[in-house]
Structure 1
Amino acid sequence: MDTTFWVLSVAGLITGFSKFSVGGMGLLILPVVMMVFPGPEALGIMIPLYIITDMMAVYSYRQQISWRVLAHFLPLAFLGVLIGGHFLANIDARQFVSFLGVIIVAMIALGLYLDFRPATFMRNPLAAYGMGFMGGVVSTIANAAGPLFSLFLLEQKLGKESYVSTRAWGFFIINLVKIPMYISLGLLSVKTTETSLQALPGLAIGAFIGFHFLKKVNPSQFKWLIRIMSFMAAAKLFLFS
């Protein structure tokens, strides 16, 4: 088996594990895939896997969705997807690598901010629209908008079930909207989808491990491990850009 299979298997394992256990590992997925696909094409390779895990998540969390909250977040997220697509169309692979490193560091910093400071300003509708827009941009360019969505959702005073359901549906809808954009940019095709399928065994294993791991792990300690690994991935991107 070649290097591509093993790298995609690891990426699939991280994707499945992150979706069904402790979030935040999404920052690691693109740097891993870019070991064999060193440019924006990595986005097209991973989007089918995100859709698969999103479908599993929305089926599992199909109740108590706060459509009112999503109605504040999603409209400008769609605009952000368009702006992000325009950005991808006008940068080369080297610029993409550098920008991805910046986004990863910024998302780590945002996660730290959320740990130590309340974000009550997120209750302002204008702030919600702003996070929606930035979430769409960052999701399109780097598939790393989780901290932005969390920043918004955590201040909406949702119950745990509603929070998880609303988050799952928000990501699912945004990822569906990204598909036509990636196709138009040549990042997503039948060929790239066939390549993505190599990650399915790792995805299934990661989801299984993540589901059982969640019951035993200390989320706080594991979150710091993810941040350290993400920072190392960002440093690697900067060094090789």
Structure 2
Amino acid sequence: MLVFVLLFCLSCGAFTISAVAGGGAGLVIMPVLGLLLTASKIPAALSLGTMCSTIGRIATFRHAIDWRVVSCFLPAALPAAALGVFCLRLMPPVYLEMFLGLFLSGNVVLLLRPASPVMTDQGAWKYLPAIGLAAGFISGFTGATGLLFNRFYQKLGLQKETIIATRAANEVLLHAIKLFLYARFGLFDGPVLVAGLCVGVSALAALRVTKIVLPLLSHAQFCRIGHAAAALAGLFMLGNAAHQIVQKDAMSFRYGRFNGETELAMTWRSHRLALEIERPLEIEVKHRIAGFTDPHTGLAKEKLTVLHLAADRGVFVTHREFMPDPGHHRRRHHRDA
């Protein structure tokens, strides 16, 4: 119950900032949804909550919708969203979330430099279908696109109310199609419904604050708040993605020295990549795969590939397959990588 209270309070704050900044609430809410749902079901709950917010924004700012943008955006975005949902079944979205987090964190640079108006570029209109394609796929895969494409809307010459209203009109059909597909693929259940409605109710409550705050902001302030929200969302996403990767994919880093040898190693799932510096001067790059199955015997083996860079022997590669020995592996871990 405490987690739902936290979700509601965070969602209220996130959607208030999101409406003022032009998006980004979904990217901030993702980590809290991760406490309630599995990674594959987070996009479904996020889409339900964001759809409630989108409908509310359309009702509030419907007079400011730029239908030219909507007519160019949606034809490419809708099939791309369906593709994103399909890909979600095949691969967890955590790595895309990490990439988006890195991308959004780049807004820190825009915050540090002096504010300057975004120049209108009429040539940007021809890229609108491609933007719709990218936004649709990312939205289907993660459940939110948020602030990723706000700067592009600004290049089209849209002002703050128009950006909010047009984005909402672009996204309402996307969310409807995604919810249908999430249900069709078994990614929508009772907990998803409860979490999504909790986010949706908080989003509608935040709209009342938005109507008061938005007229008080200049367009320059609106853009600056957007950059700040994007940077914050990026940091949230990076932290959440890194935590999931470390926990679920057993990622770790190791540095050590033994008998004059220096080793820097990284493990990820069944892979281990190591860089060793030995004496006399020799560098080895080792790649070990655990759980390799021999096609002839069906027995589990480990495969080791080593790239040698030696001052006296030159450059060469060696391969080795062997049966795993847990005791020996613990004793000799520094040598076999």
Identify unmatched segments of 5+ residues in structure 2.
246-337
Query: Separation in 2 of the partners of 1:101 and 1:143?
Result: 14
Contact residue 70 and residue 166 of structure 2 kept, 8 A: yes
Pair 1:99 & 2:99 matched: no
Residue in 1 that maps onto 2:179: 179
Question: Bigger shift: 209-218 or 42-51?
Answer: 209-218
Contact residue 77 and residue 133 of structure 2 kept, 8 A: yes
Residue in 1 that maps onto 2:289: none
Identical pairs, percent: 17
Q: 1:68 to 1:225 in 2, by over 3 A?
A: closer
Code of the residue aligned with 1:130 in structure 2: it is A
Contact residue 11 and residue 199 of structure 1 kept, 8 A: no
Pair 1:147 & 2:151 matched: no
RCO (CA 8 Å, sep 6+): is it higher in 1 or 2?
Answer: 1
Q: 1:67 to 1:205 in 2, by over 3 A?
A: closer
User: How far is 1:163 from its partner?
Assistant: 3.5
Q: 1:137 to 1:231 in 2, by over 3 A?
A: same
Partner deviation per Cα, 1:136-168 (whole Å, 9 max, x = no partner)? 011112234233442432222345544433222
Identify unmatched segments of 5+ residues in structure 1.
none
Contact residue 106 and residue 231 of structure 2 kept, 8 A: no
Partner deviation per Cα, 1:182-223 (whole Å, 9 max, x = no partner)? 112222245521343344564455444555455479552674
Question: Bigger shift: 112-121 or 77-86?
Answer: 112-121
User: How far is 1:65 from its partner?
Assistant: 2.5
Please state whether the residue corresponding to 2:37 is helix, strand or coil.
coil
Query: Which runs of structure 2 are paired with 1:176-215 in the superposition (5 Å)?
Result: 176-199=176-199, 202-203=202-203, 205-214=205-214, 215=216
Code of the residue aligned with 1:102 in structure 2: it is F
Query: Separation in 1 of the partners of 2:241 and 2:148?
Result: 22
Question: TM-score by structure 1 length?
Answer: 0.79
Partner deviation per Cα, 1:4-63 (whole Å, 9 max, x = no partner)? 313422443244313432234322121221133240211122222212111110011112
Residue in 2 that maps onto 1:44: 44
Q: 1:182 to 1:15 in 2, by over 3 A?
A: farther
Please state whether the residue corresponding to 1:83 is helix, strand or coil.
helix
Question: TM-score by structure 2 length?
Answer: 0.59
Q: 1:172 to 1:209 in 2, by over 3 A?
A: same
Contact residue 13 and residue 206 of structure 1 kept, 8 A: yes
User: How far is 1:128 from its partner?
Assistant: 1.4
Partner deviation per Cα, 1:86-116 (whole Å, 9 max, x = no partner)? 210112xxx4223212222223437867987
Query: Which runs of structure 2 are paired with 1:52-131 in the superposition (5 Å)?
Result: 52-91=52-91, 95-109=92-106, 120=121, 123-125=124-126, 127-131=127-131
Question: Bigger shift: 110-119 or 151-160?
Answer: 110-119
Q: 1:205 to 1:119 in 2, by over 3 A?
A: same
CA RMSD of aligned residues (A): 3.3
User: How far is 1:171 from its partner?
Assistant: 2.0
Question: Bigger shift: 51-60 or 113-122?
Answer: 113-122
Contact residue 20 and residue 225 of structure 2 kept, 8 A: no
Residue in 2 that maps onto 1:4: 3
Kindly tell me the number of residue pairs found equivalent between the two proteins. 236
Query: Separation in 1 of the partners of 2:202 and 2:152?
Result: 31
